[in-house]
Amino acid sequence: MKNFKLKIGALSLSAMMMVAVSCSDEFLEVPPTGLLAEAQLSSLSGIEASLIAAYSQVNGRGNRLGSPSNWVWGSIRGGEANKGTDPGDFATINPIQRFENNSASGEMGSKWNVAYEGIARANNVLRLLLNPGPDVTDEDVVRLSAQARFLRAHFYFELKRDYGNTPYVDENIDYGSGLEEVSNNQDLYPFIEADLQYAVDNLPPTQGQVGRVNSWAAKAYLAKVYMYQDKFSQAKTLFDDVIANGVTSNGLKYDLVPYYDDMFRGANDNHQESVWAYQAAAGTGSVLNANPEFDLNFPYNTGPAGPGNCCGFFQPSFTFVNAFRTDANGLPLLDKSYNDPSNRVKNDQGLQSADPFTPDDGNLDPRLDHTVGRRGIPYLDWQDHPGTAWIRNQPNGGPYSPKKYVYARSEQGSFQDNSSWTPGYTGINFMIIRFADVLLMSAEADIEAGELESARAKVNRVRERAINSELLREDGTPAANYVISTYDQPWTDANVARTAVRMERMLELGMEGHRFYDLVRWNTVQEELDFYFALDGTILTGALGGAKFTEPYKLVPIPQDQIDLVGSDILIQNPGF
């Protein structure tokens, strides 16, 4: 049931007609239909509605490249996946995955537009709170401000990771009052930190509506922002507190969901691992309240035997799948030998579904089969993945399908929405921060503090859940040869520990939009993407052949149309574009 969630709805009000009784022309001054007077919005209900509008913008409102899922900006650019599907469909993603986009390329403004709309909505709340109505208490001002500032920090953080520094606009600047003169020559991080610190100090530990952020989510987010600046000691202090004492907005002690796939099932939304998620709901009358950015990211042409039926996007990469190979002791191949021919995961590239095929029988981490759809392995509760019959264009995208945030057969009609052009809209919350993410970032901070054994314990906590998450067939037998274990030898070398934690983040958080940003903050992006293209570019020659990452592409170029609006002296383009 979703009735306990923060609901996103449309506020519709009629304009009041003004009646003139004199000979003046005041009768001509009629407010436009649908215009909300400030007196209406400054009431408690008006400000609450404005805040809900800011929350609603988090999922991108139908802009597929604008949401925090970052399936293109984080996962595809990070080498976990390629665009997939057919080369001519959504072709503006093609240059992005090849690192050939420029400032005028399609989709350069997707994240920009979504984030600044969110910032405008958050600023509107804060502006209304400067002169609130008489029914708004001082306590209301604080709690509403804290939520709005958390959301504003989130949108600016999304901008900072993609574009670098962008114009900082707060509630004191509006259209016609200097907005067009704000440059992008200030570091955004101090503003993001200030907003999140305010949220930490003023949000409650729990909320009456689970979709609202709490103080623990603010602490986790602020610690994450510190990690991006290598402020490890500040991050560590917050992470230690969150791990020891943190609870969800609905009061559940933070912990890992015992079985890996269960955290991606709609009936379990707002579980103990969900630090902050945007709330998704099916059957509301608008698919924009669901997961509107994922409607393309399903197996292709499944018919009633599978989910989505369209459109074959977001196909996991060969390099990513191979990374789930484990050694005889059940540990990852930290030397990156998983792309060696003898270690690669067997696949059905080049085969038709009617051709005989036996899945890989080597040692694998079970998280592979909760993350990736591959031939011969159960695809949720639908059927065994049939291979190329569910792949739109195998030579272009490869043999694999995405699996996380895909609705199960048992979720049809409840956590899946049939009201639009495709059934690929789900009411499954998307977790922007989850507890495993917190544990692994905390492990990174521990390593920088010299606490290697604390880091090992946190990684092992994540791996223990994976050990208990084998994918089983209907007869109770494992779907593949799962061999996975914890790190049982003490960690004494910080470099080895870093490698292990970074590998664990890919295995645990794969296809969730983190990878590219991790590679950039670790300063390993060139090495890792060279490694990715060395294999995937030689197999998917049409899509990725000859592609290469270069230094300017750590950032997305500032959209040219935005520069054209205010001038290049105000909005400064990123180097190399």
**In the chain, helix, strand, coil percent, each to 5?**
45, 5, 50
State how far the Cα of 99 lies from the Cα of 102, in Å rounded to an integer: 9
Q: Are 508 and 533 in the same domain?
A: no
Is 365 among the domain residues? yes
Percentage with pLDDT > 90 across the chain: 88
Beta bridge partners of 316: 81
What is the rounded average pLDDT of the residues 115-136? Answer: 97
Mean pLDDT of the chain: 93
What is the rounded average pLDDT of the residues 11-22? Answer: 32
Instruction: Write out the H or E segment, with its range, that includes residue 242.
Output: helix 232-245
Instruction: Write out the H or E segment, with its range, that includes residue 316.
Output: strand 313-316
CA angle (149 as vertex; 136, 140 as ends), nearest 5: 15
Q: Are 305 and 264 in the same domain?
A: yes
What is the rounded average pLDDT of the residues 411-436? Answer: 93
Q: How far are the Cα atoms of 107, 135, 192, 331, 505 from residue 141, in angstroms, in the given order?
A: 37, 11, 20, 51, 38
Among candidate residues 492, 512, 532, the one where a domain is terminated = 512
- Model pLDDT, residue 22: 36
State how far the Cα of 403 lies from the Cα of 197, in Å rounded to an integer: 36
Question: Residue 31: which pLDDT band, with cuts at 50, 70 and 90?
Answer: low
Angle, to 10 degrees, between the axis of helix 110-128 and the axis of helix 44-56?
170
Residue 14 pLDDT more than 70?
A: no
**Number of Cβ atoms within 10 Å of the Cβ of 368:** 27
Question: Residue 29: which pLDDT band, with cuts at 50, 70 and 90?
Answer: low
Give 196-238 pLDDT, tens digit per residue: 999 999 999 999 999 999 999 999 999 999 999 999 999 999 9
Q: Of 10-14, 424-428, 447-451, which one has max mean pLDDT?
A: 447-451
Are 408 and 298 spatial neighbours (Cβ–Cβ below 8 Å)?
no
Neighbour-count burial for 183-197, b at 16+ CB within 10 Å, e otherwise = ebeeebbebbbebbe
State how far the Cα of 557 lies from the Cα of 549, in Å rounded to an integer: 14
- Model pLDDT, residue 454: 98
- Model pLDDT, residue 11: 35
Q: What is the CA radius of gyration of the chain?
A: 24
Q: Are 555 and 455 in the same domain?
A: no
**Three-state secondary structure of 512-573:** CCCHHHHHHHHCCHHHHHHHHHHHHHHHCHHHHCCCCCCHHHHCCCCCHHHHHHHCCCCCCC
Are 186 and 168 spatial neighbours (Cβ–Cβ below 8 Å)?
yes
Q: Are 68 and 152 in the same domain?
A: yes
> For the ranges 36-50, 114-128, 402-416, which has the lowest average pLDDT?
36-50
Is 213 among the domain residues? no
Give 271-323 pLDDT, tens digit per residue: 999 999 999 999 999 999 988 888 999 999 999 999 999 999 999 999 999 99
Most distant pair of Cα atoms in the chain: their distance: 93
What is the rounded average pLDDT of the residues 50-78? Answer: 96
What is the rounded average pLDDT of the residues 238-267? Answer: 98
CATH number, residue 276? 1.25.40.390
Q: Which residues contact 489 (CB under 8 A, 6 or more apart)?
A: none
Question: Residue 7: which pLDDT band, with cuts at 50, 70 and 90?
Answer: very low
Q: Are 294 and 191 in the same domain?
A: no
Residue 569 pLDDT more than 80?
A: yes
Is 33 among the domain residues? no
Is 221 among the domain residues? no
Are 222 and 202 spatial neighbours (Cβ–Cβ below 8 Å)?
no
Percentage with pLDDT > 70 across the chain: 93
Residue 84 pLDDT more than 70?
A: yes
Q: Are 506 and 567 in the same domain?
A: no
CA nearest neighbour of 383 among 296, 461, 312, 474: 474
Is 4 among the domain residues? no
Number of structural domains the chain divides into: 2
Q: How far is CA 132 from the centre of its chain?
A: 34
Q: Are 467 and 498 in the same domain?
A: yes
Question: Residue 40: which pLDDT band, with cuts at 50, 70 and 90?
Answer: confident
Please give the model's pTM, rounded to 2 decimal places.
0.93
- Model pLDDT, residue 177: 81
Residue 450 pLDDT more than 70?
A: yes
Is 23 among the domain residues? no
- Model pLDDT, residue 25: 53
CA nearest neighbour of 442 among 504, 384, 400, 495: 504
Backbone angles phi, psi at 392, to 5 degrees: -70, -45
What is the rounded average pLDDT of the residues 346-367? Answer: 98
Question: Residue 106: which pLDDT band, with cuts at 50, 70 and 90?
Answer: confident
Is 214 among the domain residues? no
What is the rounded average pLDDT of the residues 528-536? Answer: 98
Q: Are 500 and 527 in the same domain?
A: no
Instruction: Write out the H or E segment, with its range, that includes residue 383.
Output: strand 383-384
Residue 30 pLDDT more than 70?
A: no
Residue 35 pLDDT more than 70?
A: no
Question: Residue 34: which pLDDT band, with cuts at 50, 70 and 90?
Answer: low
Q: Are 523 and 468 in the same domain?
A: no
Among candidate residues 456, 490, 512, the one where a domain is terminated = 512
- Residue numbers of the domain that contains 316: 232-340+359-512
Q: Are 130 and 79 in the same domain?
A: yes
Does residue 511 come out as left (phi exceeding 0), alpha (psi in the -120 to 50 range) or beta? left
Among candidate residues 488, 512, 536, the one where a domain is terminated = 512
Q: Are 423 and 459 in the same domain?
A: yes
Is 255 among the domain residues? yes
Instruction: Write out the H or E segment, with its range, that includes residue 315.
Output: strand 313-316
Helices (H), 26-137: 38-41, 44-56, 94-98, 110-128
CB-neighbour burial class of residue 148 (10 A; exposed 0-12, middle 13-18, buried 19+) = buried
Q: Are 371 and 414 in the same domain?
A: yes
What is the rounded average pLDDT of the residues 387-402? Answer: 98
